[in-house]
């Protein structure tokens, strides 16, 4: 399973005008090719009167699924530039549809490439980008004599203390990035002189805004 990757925060819409043509970029996060195609069809129906609805998507841990569609624009001038923006920004599981309402002025091949690339970038900016980081959800159990010290250390650390359960012993539920798992175990052992028991409950992704 992939540990960290970039994707869109939410469905976003960006719009620009270039030489009187109106370009509208709809961007969304998707997990399957079926979802990507469904999103594209939804936008095409919404903008059925548009001159073109060009699209691209990247899906999968290693970008196994990628597709670009020029929707009537000269070959390679619309879908591919959109796809290249996704690759350049290292986005995963993302679909972009750029709708064009022709304004009467031809842009030429180079102009189209720049227009569709810029439109995709504007749409992505409107959506926002997050980094999804894989975390281990750990239960740290210790005798109550360690409560004060461990709670204080955890709250002042970079790890996320989810909650504390007060049972026969004290149990801290902590979210730890998978790449820091060994470091966390070692740190806990040192803090408690080996008096803690750590059990992994599950793995989950947490999202953080990407600058």
Task: List the alpha helices (DSSP H) in the chain.
Answer: 33-46, 79-88, 108-127, 147-155, 181-192
**pLDDT value, residue 1:** 67
pLDDT means over runs of 10, the chain (211 residues): 90 96 98 97 97 97 95 96 98 98 94 97 97 97 96 96 96 97 97 96 94 68
The pLDDT, as a whole number, for residue 170 is 97
What pLDDT sits at residue 3?
80
Closest by Cα among 104, 114, 97 to 14: 97
Q: Which residues have C-beta within 8 Å of that of residue 99, sequence separation ≥ 6?
A: 23, 24, 25, 26, 43, 47, 50, 52, 53, 54
The dotted CATH code for 133-209 is 3.30.70.240
**For the chain, what are the domain ranges?**
4-127, 133-209
Does the domain formed by 4-127 have CATH 3.40.50.1390? no
pTM of the model: 0.87
């Amino acid at each position: 399973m992939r540990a960290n990757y970039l994707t869109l925060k939410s469905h976003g819409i960006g719009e620009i005008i270039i030489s009187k043509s109106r370009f509208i970029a709809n961007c969304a996060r998707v997990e399957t090719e079926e979802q990507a195609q469904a999103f594209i069809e939804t936008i095409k129906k919404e903008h059925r009167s548009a001159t073109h609805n060009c699209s691209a998507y990247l899906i999968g841990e290693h970008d196994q699924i990628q597709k670009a569609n020029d929707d009537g624009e000269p070959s390679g001038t619309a879908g591919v530039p959109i796809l290249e923006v996704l690759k350049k920004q290292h986005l995963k599981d993302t679909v972009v549809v750029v709708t064009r309402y022709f304004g009467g002025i031809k842009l030429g091949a180079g102009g189209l490439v720049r227009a569709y690339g810029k439109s995709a970038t504007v749409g992505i900016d409107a959506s926002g980008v997050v980094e999804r980081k894989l975390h281990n959800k750990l239960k740290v159990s210790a005798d109550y004599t360690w409560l004060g010290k461990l709670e204080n250390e955890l709250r002042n650390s970079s790890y996320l203390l989810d909650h504390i359960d007060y049972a026969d012993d004290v149990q801290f539920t902590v979210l730890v990035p998978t790449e820091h798992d060994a470091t966390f175990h070692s740190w806990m052992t040192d803090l408690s002189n080996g008096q803690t028991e750590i059990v992994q409950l599950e793995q989950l992704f947490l999202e953080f805004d990407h600058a």
